Structure 1
Amino acid sequence: MPMRDISALHCGHLFHFKCIKYWLTEQKTCPECRKSSKLDDIITTLYFHDDISDKKSEIANKHFESAFDGSKKLDTYNDLLKQLNDAYLELQNEKALHEQTKTFLNEVQCEKLEMIRIIQTLIENDD
């Protein structure tokens, strides 16, 4: 419906111009709220605030903020992932060091047992 075909009454209700004109020739009230109205009360020039550009700007700002928040979250997650990877590598190094220490202790233990065996052999030979 073209905007030029929209009309209003003083009570604020909007109607198609031809419809409200016909109604008021038969009735003397608004068809919605029943307030007293007459043909002279029809307002044919209406002005609407065009806030489409405001809405577009608002939506764009929200989208930008959302994208920025998403980018910040992604950066935070990437930082956490890097920290986690670093901790994992450090743990792997600690594990390898632990294995080396175990191997070294086993070798020392074997050498100790060998020394004990040698000492026992020497003691037995002295007798």
Structure 2
Amino acid sequence: MANYTCNICIEDLYEPGSQAGCLPCGHVFHVKCVQPWIKKNKTCPTCRKGTSVKRLLSYCIRKLYFSEEDYPGTSTEPVDNNEIDVDCGENPENEHNLDSAKKAPDVNTLRQHERDLMKQLEQTQNEINLLQFIRTQLTKELSNKEEELQSSRKKQQELAESASGIGKKLLLSERTKKEIEDKMMKLGSKLVDIEGVLKESQSIAQDSLEMLAQALSDKELEHISFKVLQYYHNYCSTI
């Protein structure tokens, strides 16, 4: 029989009292050596081949029997079935590990779902922040437009009041102009009347002078004419 050694302890696989076992990859080790190794490193000591958590937790190290004497079924000593179950992964601890391994994908899925939700939440929060910023800018712009509108309305009101004042002044000016025109017309009418009276007075004076000239001498006529002319001159200057 060829000699094979355990790559972990470098001891003969067929040494008395030692049990050999085979991993899923096919490499053989002492069961007592490979069990703690697998629990710690989760890889094959020889090929370093890794495996999933589920497969590691549910593996069953297959014991190898190189002779009939080593096989528990032919031994005269009582076999501890619990020990065999432990080696085959059928003990309660391994069953618990198997259940945990079955639940592991669900946990990973939930964690991935949680990460996706957090990412979506962050994206949504960024969108909310952007919308709030846009809302703030639009509110400021709307406020500025309202102030401009109020200023424009105020200017329009001032212009309307100014135009109303100008209209009142124009109306007053038209009234004043009409009053002045009426007064000028009245004065013109009076002037016409005065001119008529003056002409009539001149005509009467002329007739009177002619009558006096016939009745008085030249010297007396000259003196009277001077008085009349002086009186007429004074009268005209008072008009």
Give the aligned partner of residue 104 of structure 1: 176
Q: Aligned to 2:167, which of 92, 95, 107?
A: 95
Deviation at 1:64, TM superposition (A): 1.1
Give the aligned partner of residue 74 of structure 1: 146
Which deviates further from its counterpart, 49-58 or 115-124? Answer: 49-58
Cα shift readout 1:22-55 (whole Å, capped 9, x = no counterpart): xxxxxxxxxxxxxxxxxxxxxx546443211111
Residues 10-49 of structure 1: matches in 2 within 5 Å? Answer: 45=112, 47-48=115-116, 49=119
Which amino acid letter does the alignment assign opposite residue 81 of structure 1? R
Give the aligned partner of residue 196 of structure 2: 124
**Unaligned 5+ runs, structure 1:** 1-43
**Normalising by structure 1, what TM-score?**
0.62
Which amino acid letter does the alignment assign opposite residue 64 of structure 1? T
The whole-number CA distance in structure 2 between the counterparts of 1:97 and 1:126 is 42
Structure 1 segments, 4+ long, off by >3 Å, are 44-48
Give the aligned partner of residue 72 of structure 2: none
Bigger radius of gyration: 2
Which amino acid letter does the alignment assign opposite residue 138 of structure 2? S
Cα shift readout 1:78-108 (whole Å, capped 9, x = no counterpart): 0000001000000000000000000000000
The whole-number CA distance in structure 1 between the counterparts of 2:166 and 2:191 is 37
The whole-number CA distance in structure 2 between the counterparts of 1:59 and 1:71 is 18
The whole-number CA distance in structure 2 between the counterparts of 1:102 and 1:85 is 25
Give the aligned partner of residue 35 of structure 1: none
Which amino acid letter does the alignment assign opposite residue 98 of structure 1? L
The whole-number CA distance in structure 2 between the counterparts of 1:53 and 1:66 is 20
**Normalising by structure 2, what TM-score?**
0.34
The whole-number CA distance in structure 2 between the counterparts of 1:85 and 1:126 is 60
**Unaligned 5+ runs, structure 2:** 1-108, 200-239
The whole-number CA distance in structure 2 between the counterparts of 1:54 and 1:84 is 45
